Amino acid sequence: MGSYTASAQRLVDEMKVAALADPARGLAFQGAPGANSDLAAREYDPDSLPLPCYSFQDAIDAVREGRVDRAIIPIENSLHGRVADIHFLLPESGLSIVGEHFLRIRYGLMSRDLGPVTRAMSHEQALGQCRNWLRANQIAPIAHSDTAGAAAWVADSDEVGLAALAPPHAAEIYGLTLHGTGMEDADHNMTRFVILAREPLADLSAIEGPLMTTFMFEVKNIPAALYKALGGFATNGVNMTKLESYQVAGSFAATQFYTDIVGAPGDENIDRALEELDFQTKSLRLLGTYPMARVRGG
């Protein structure tokens, strides 16, 4: 477990007391107060009590151990792709996905005004989303565990030329000068978050609107394994909106797949497709069925 700088820790302590006193409203997130995940938590559930956690594992553990009922975790970004380690943490967590939320990502450059900015500190995802702007302005990127945590670090540092790339309101939270906004390299910069809980949603029939189902599977080591595994979705007309491969346990064989589909178990077509998938694969693990927050395709 890591630690926050003094400026962030004071806010963390206040938020922690509130969230732990009311676990049903508690919503764990990774980062310092003011991070994009903090914003996402407040947008997703304005009545929630966000709980700052230093790492993704800390946020997941807060739910697993019953200190709060839910966590909100970023899973992918429209510019920078998959969030590192999430595809490993999700299946190992034992938690269920019960919701999703999309957050428009904006960054501001902020500092203590200790000379011209020559270095910008932020989460590696944020640095990747602003890499063209940083290069054009000859500002060196410095990786930090969190965007708002970087702002807190800058607030507590006397280093000349050091700035942070963080959500613009973090400048006010940590008493920094906001030099400008819109450093992200594209206007469509969007991050998808998933909401995790100890139990899956109990009554899917009460949910209005389309549902999403997320699962992971491992193909057999045979020719055309992926083709055979996915055939049932095509023949049953199931819309697969995401299919992503990744390696586990040091293997270079792309045998693990993370998948999103539109619909839910209990639908006849989905049940047939999942039955075919289960037959054709080494393992299949459902991670959750939940309301669709944003229509896919078009």
Count the alpha carbons within 13 Å of 225 in the hemisphere toward its beta carbon.
Answer: 16
CA distances from 5 to 29, 70, 125, 265 (A): 17, 25, 21, 46
Other CB atoms within 10 A of residue 268 CB: 8
- What's the rounded Cα separation, in Å, for the pair 58 and 53? 6
Alpha helices in 67-156, H assignment, sequence order: 86-93, 124-129, 131-136, 147-155
Q: Annotate 147-172 with b (16+ C-beta within 10 A) or e (fewer).
A: bbbbbbbbbeeeeeebbbbbbbbbbe
Other CB atoms within 10 A of residue 5 CB: 18
Which residue in 147, 191, 213, 255 is the catalytic one? 191
193 carries an active-site annotation: yes
Could you tell me the two tokens for 68?
């709060």
Which residue in 29, 56, 193, 217 is the catalytic one? 193
213 carries an active-site annotation: no
Q: What amino acid positions are annotated as catalytic residues? A: 191, 193
